[in-house]
Amino acid sequence: MTRTSARKITTRLLLALAGLTAMAVPATAAQGAERLPQDNAAKGHRGCVVVYFDLGETLIHTADDGSIRYLPGAAEHLRALRARHIPVGLITNVPSSWGSTDAERAAELKKVIAEDWTDSRPFAWSDFGDRILTPRTEAERKPATVLWERARSASGDCRLVYQAETTDEIKASRSLGYVSYLVGRPHWPVFMPVQLIAALAHLPT
C-alpha cells in the first residue's frame, strides 16, 4: 500500500467516524470576537479542533437543594482535553442583563456558580479563557443560532465540536457545521471520546 493510499483510507475512516457521531441523536428527542489560539495546531497537528459545551446539565448539575457540582465524568473529560492541548469553550444562556460584554456576563456567571458550588474540585474556569459566549440580548438565547455563529467566526479554520444534553441545541449547532454530540445517552460514552475529537483535527476543512 502506498503512502497516498494509506492517507486516503485514514481520511475516509475519520470522516465516517465523525459522521456517525454527528448523526447519533435520538429521532424523538459575533460581537468583536478574536481569533482563537490554535493550541493543538501548535503541537504538530495539520489542523485544529475547538470543543464547545453547554454548561447546565452538560458539565455541571444543579441539585434540588440548590447545590451545584460536576456531572459524572465531566471533570475527567475536561482534564483529558487539557492534556491534549485541545481548546474548550462554553456557549451558555445567561440573562443578558448580567453585563454588556461576554466578559462581564461570564464574571457574573462565575459568581453565581461559586455561591452554591459543593464539589470538592473547583470548576475549571481557566480552561475556557475568554471562550465563554453568552447572549447579548434575550433574542440571542439558544436555540437561536447567534452564539454558535459567533463561536465559529472566532475559531478561524478550526473544526468545531459542540456537546450538550438537549436535542434542539444539537440540531441547531449541527446545521452550522459543528460535529455535535448529545451527552448522557444510555449505552453511549457520556462525552464524545477524546481520541475521536483529536482525530477531527486531521480532517480536511
Q: Name which CATH class applies to 3-25+35-200.
A: alpha beta
* Contact yes or no for 95/60 (Cβ under 8 A): no
Would you kindly state where each structural domain of the chain is located, as residue ranges?
3-25+35-200
Amino acid present at 48:
C
Q: What is the pLDDT along the chain (205 residues), one digit of tens a residue?
A: 454 544 544 445 455 555 544 444 443 333 333 333 334 433 433 579 999 999 999 999 987 888 999 999 999 999 999 999 999 999 999 999 999 999 999 999 999 999 999 999 999 999 999 999 999 999 999 999 999 999 999 999 899 999 999 999 999 999 999 999 999 999 999 999 999 999 999 887 6
86 three-state secondary structure: coil
**Backbone torsion region of residue 197, taken as left when φ is above 0, otherwise alpha when ψ lies between -120 and 50, otherwise beta:** alpha
Pairing of strands 60-62, 68-70: antiparallel
pTM of the model as a whole? 0.81
Chain centroid offset of residue 32 CA: 20
